[in-house]
Amino acid sequence: MNIGITYDLKTDYTEDHLPTELLAELDKPETINAISDALTSQGHAVEKIGHFKKLSRALLDGKRWNLVFNIAEGLYGIGRESTVPCLLDAYQIPYVFSDPAVLAVCLHKGITKQMIDYLKIPTAEFLIVNQLSDLEKLNIPFPLFAKPVAEGTGKGINSKSILHHFRECEETVKRLLDLYQQPVLIEKFLSGREFTVGMIGTGKKAYCLGIMEIHFNEKIKEKIYSYQNKADYELNVHYSLLKNEPSLIKKIETLSLNAWQGLGCRDGGRMDIRCDENHEPMFVEVNPLAGLHPEDSDLVIMSRLKNISYDSLIQRIVNSAAERIKK
């Protein structure tokens, strides 16, 4: 196949002098090179397209591909991950990963949890705060957890995200509203073990690639997957596959598959799960556009722990997407 790759590189925006955290979700050249090499090794012809504007120009110039491997995160707005898929849909070009509606919904963690609640999948109690006065509706017992509704890579999450009383809640929510200019999600703090689940496939063919537990080193004060802990994961975090706990594995796999299929996610991604004080797994969030850095992305680390090569991971994702190509 002739496969194009769409992406946003951190280096594409360095001249704009944007804060490092704002660019945290964007990719590095080694990720694009690794994906390209994996696709080439499988016999595909590969073109590195780049971001939305470059894709737009290429389409207007008449360029077309059998499939586009889309990992473009976008930079602005809650619908930013949907921009490239919307454009590809308009040109009827199939692409890897979820459609615009799924990407937009799943980036908004509050709306995602509303859907998860509707699907009767276990998740912590929550409140979406659009303005500070919405805290008048707060009726969830402390401790609580607060984060921006539409950020990834742990952005907006730090030691102040765990809230123990209303005054603390009010201060943190105000800071997040002002800083990120988007709603804040408040939810019951889950004090148990934390996992990320690799997902592959679409619909009835979807399956759990593996369940990886996140362990925080003892010296770390905040036992949360924050922006800083993710950035310094080699020092602050270590990982292991969940094994020899069949009952817990079954619960997490069932929860993850129900959420993945219920939300309409496709091809590959990650599901974040955390247990409550009763050791029951709860849905936290889903990443239908998971990172694919060849060394330090969670889905890749999990694959490595399962002895699944990077090339094999990419091939599984592409094989799922290729089923949507019209013959």
Is the pLDDT at 16 greater than 80? The verdict is no
Predicted confidence at residue 233, as pLDDT, reads 64
Query: What is the pLDDT, as a whole number, of residue 89?
Result: 97
pLDDT of residue 227: 54
Q: Is the per-residue pLDDT at 27 higher than 90?
A: no
248-293 residue pLDDT tens: 999 999 999 999 999 999 999 999 999 999 999 999 999 999 999 9
pLDDT, residue 254, reads 98
**What fold characterizes domain 2-97?**
Rossmann fold (3.40.50)
Q: What average pLDDT does the structure give for the chain?
A: 92
Instruction: Provide the 8-state DSSP code for 35.
Output: H
How far apart CA 27 and CA 6 sit, in angstroms, is: 11
- pLDDT reported for residue 172: 94
Instruction: Provide the pLDDT for residue 12.
Output: 81
pLDDT of residue 86: 97
H or E segment at 262?
helix 246-263
Model pLDDT for residues 100-143, shown as the tens digit of each residue: 999 999 999 999 999 999 999 999 999 999 999 999 999 999 99
Strand partners, 195: 213, 273
Token pair 């690799």: residue? 198
Residue 64, pLDDT score: 97
Q: Which fold has domain 125-188?
A: Dna Ligase; domain 1 (3.30.1490)
User: How far, in Å, CA of 174 to CA of 154, rounded?
Assistant: 18
State the first-to-last Cα distance of the chain, in angstroms, to the nearest integer: 13
Asked: is 191-322 a CATH 3.30.470.20 domain? The reply is yes
Alpha helices in 139-241 (DSSP H): 166-180, 227-231, 233-236
Q: What is the 3-state secondary structure (H, E, C) of 163-217?
A: ECCHHHHHHHHHHHHHHHCCCEEEEECCCCCEEEEEEECCHHHCEEEEEEEEEEC
- Asked if residue 193 has pLDDT above 70, the reply is yes
Structural domain spans, the chain: 2-97, 125-188, 191-322
pLDDT of residue 220: 66
What integer pLDDT is reported at residue 237 of this predicted model? Answer: 87
Greater confidence (226 vs 73) lies with 73
pLDDT tens-digit map of 167-183: 999 999 999 999 889 99
In this prediction, residue 157 carries a pLDDT of 86
CA distance 96 to 86: 13
User: Which residues 6+ apart lie within 8 Å of 61 measured at CB?
Assistant: none
Strands of the 162-163 sheet, one edge to the other: 126-129, 184-188, 144-148, 162-163
pLDDT bin (cut points 50, 70, 90) of residue 75 is confident
pLDDT in tens, 214-254: 998 877 666 665 556 555 667 788 999 999 999 999 999 99
